[in-house]
Amino acid sequence: MAKYNCVTRSSYFYVVDEFEYEKFKQHIVVGDNDERIEFWHKIADKAESDEVYTGKNMKHAFGGYTQILGYVEDIEHYDSKLFYPTPNYKLFLEKLSKIIAPNSACIITEVGNNALRYLGAEVSIATHNNYETLVLDEIIKNRLSNKKGITYSDIDMWF
Cis amide bond preceding 85, omega within 30: yes
pLDDT tens-digit map of 11-43: 999 999 999 999 999 999 998 767 889 999 998
Residues shown for the chain? 159
Grade residue 55 by pLDDT with cuts at 50, 70 and 90: low
pTM of the entire structure?
0.85
- Quote the domain boundaries for residue 25: 5-155
CA nearest to 12, candidates 49, 57, 74, 65 = 57
pLDDT tens-digit map of 100-122: 999 999 999 999 988 777 788 99
The mean pLDDT of the chain is 85
How many structural domains are present in the chain? Answer: 1
